[in-house]
Structure 1
Amino acid sequence: MRFPTSLLLAMALMLSPAYAQEQSIEDVISSQIDAFGAQDADKAFSYASPTIQSLFGTPEAFGMMVQNGYPMVQNPAELEYVDQITNGSYTLQRLRIQDQSGQDHWFAYEMIVIDGDWRINGVYRIGPIGLSA
C-alpha cells in the first residue's frame, strides 16, 4: 500500500517546528513579555519550556531572575522581531528590545515545540543585528 504524497507531507509538517501555529513564536514571546509587565509570574512561567520550568522551580523564582537579569523585558518601550533561524528541533527568534531610556538590547529566544505549542527554551543576549563597521 502506498501513502499519498500529501499525507506524507502533512506528517512531516506535524513533526517540524513550523507546525505549531495556534500561537506564533512572536505571539508567545509578546504574551510572556505582557505577563511580566502585568506582574503575572504564573502566566509568564507558563510560556517557558519544561526544562526552564525545572531549572527555576517556581514562577516566583523565574520572575525574580527576569527582574534582576532582564529588567528591559518587564516594561519595554519597543519590540522589533528581526528574523528567525530554524535549526532542526528549535527556532531562534532574534529581536530588539528598547528599554524605557531608549537603549537597545538584542536577544535570541530559543523556541521549541512542546505538545504542538511554542515554548521558550532560553533567552540569550546577542550583538546588534545588521550593523557593520
Structure 2
Amino acid sequence: MRTTLLAAAVALGLAGPAPAQGVDTQIRDVIGGQIEALRADDFAKAFTFASPQIQGLFGTAERFGDMVRQGYPMVWRPSDIRFGGLTERGGASYQSVLITDQAGEVHLLEYEMVMTSDGWEINGVRFLRPGAFGA
C-alpha cells in the first residue's frame, strides 16, 4: 500500500528542469495544509488536498485516513518537516519532503503534484532512497 498512498510516482533520478518560480510555494502550501489537517485528525479536510484520482481510489475520507494512519504514520504525526527540491517530469511536479517521525526516524518522501481546475493537488506519495533529498 505504500506505493499507492496518494498514488505511485516515477524515480527521482529522472528529474527534469525546475518549475516556474512561485509554484514551489503553492505546492508546499498544499502539502503543508494536508499535513496540518492530518495532525488535527481532520481527515475530511486532508482528503480535499488529494487529486480526483486519489479520491476515487479511496472513496471516502475515512478510508483515506485509515490508510494514512496505517501506512504513513510519519505523515500523520510528524515531529519535523523539511522541503527539498521540486522537479517536473511527465506533466507532473514532484516535491521531495524530509519528515522526522515521533521516534526520531527520518523518512524521505516524494509527493507527486498535479494541477487541476481547483489548483495544485496531491496525486501520489512514495518513499525515496536516502541521498535523494533536494535533487
Q: In the alignment, which residue of structure 1 is the partner of 2:44?
A: 42
Q: Which amino acid aligns with 1:46?
A: T
Q: In the alignment, which residue of structure 2 is the partner of 1:122?
A: 124
Determine if the alignment matches structure 1 residue 52 to structure 2 residue 54: yes
Q: In the alignment, which residue of structure 2 is the partner of 1:5?
A: none
TM-score, with length taken from structure 2: 0.78
SS at 2:78 equivalent:
coil
Determine if the alignment matches structure 1 residue 72 to structure 2 residue 74: yes
Determine if the alignment matches structure 1 residue 86 to structure 2 residue 88: yes
Change (3 A) 1:130 1:63: closer
TM-score, with length taken from structure 1: 0.79
Q: In the alignment, which residue of structure 1 is the partner of 2:101?
A: 99
Pick the structure with more helix per residue: 1
| Unaligned stretches of 5+ residues in structure 1 | 1-16
Q: Distance in 2 between matches of 1:45 and 1:25?
A: 16
Q: Distance in 1 between matches of 2:115 and 2:132?
A: 28
Q: How many residues align?
A: 114
Counting aligned pairs with the same residue, the percent is 44
RMSD, aligned CA: 2.0
